[in-house]
Chains A and B, each alone.
Chain A
Amino acid sequence: NAGVTQTPKFQVLKTGQSMTLQCAQDMNHEYMSWYRQDPGMGLRLIHYSVGAGITDQGEVPNGYNVSRSTTEDFPLRLLSAAPSQTSVYFCASSSPNSRDSHEAFFGQGTRLTVV
């Protein structure tokens, strides 16, 4: 099982560039979310989704857009990258209806550097 797959694993952007971090899960989970991890800050919630067509903001949503057109995919878009967005990004999925109810499965992370 692939679980939660994030691409790319590493990315360097110039300030002002745009890009999309991809996240796909093959567990048919309803819930998906994006976090960023910065040194000394733990993981902070960016956006989350409880189903296709439904998204909501987390703790640090500014500068990021999301959409959820399918159950499997939850891309995170940076419209105009800033150095403050240099971070490690994690995508996660979970389901209230599975044997692993409520456990969040995380991807391997995307290390993004904005120069």
Chain B
Amino acid sequence: AQKVTQAQTEISVVEKEDVTLDCVYETRDTTYYLFWYKQPPSGELVFLIRRNSFDEQNEISGRYSWNFQKSTSSFNFTITASQVVDSAVYFCALSEARQAGTALIFGKGTTLSVSS
């Protein structure tokens, strides 16, 4: 069975601090996809990144970076120099390759609060 664990329920930081959100997953599939989504207080779900299981390159997009390590089944998300606008709930999700993008299994989310 597939499972995604986000052990950090809530994180509070002060603006400009760096913060890492952890994500650990379980799957029996050899090919799968991992995702991060952001849910701001307004409630919509915003896609951040998709990673294939066969592509272990880390990725950086502006202040966001992702560290995918197959050996530890982790897909961690780091925000550098956090800002108040980063305050949101962040979800990590997993799907099988043959159903990629649908049938997502989500973690319970990490609520990030950034204060000024």
Contacts and interface: CB of A to CB of B under 8 A. Distances in A.
A104 B101 contact: yes
B99 A45 contact: no
Contact of A102 (B6, B44, B100, B109): B100
A104 B101 CA distance: 5
Interface string A92-111: 10111000011111101100
Interface string A70-109: 0000000000000000001010101110000111111011
Interface in B24-70: 33, 35, 43-45, 47, 50
B contact patch SS: loop
A50 B109 contact: no
A33 B102 CA distance: 6
Given A31-B99, A90-B45, A104 B105 contact: no
B101 A40 contact: no
Interface residues of B, number: 23
Contact of A32 (B102, B106, B107): B102
B101 A31 contact: yes
* Interface size of A as a range: 20 to 34
A108 B43 contact: yes
B105 A94 contact: no
Interface string B72-116: 000000000000000000010101000111111111110000000
B102 A103 contact: no
Interface of A: 31-33, 35, 40-45, 48-50, 56, 58-59, 88, 90, 92, 94-96, 101-106, 108-109
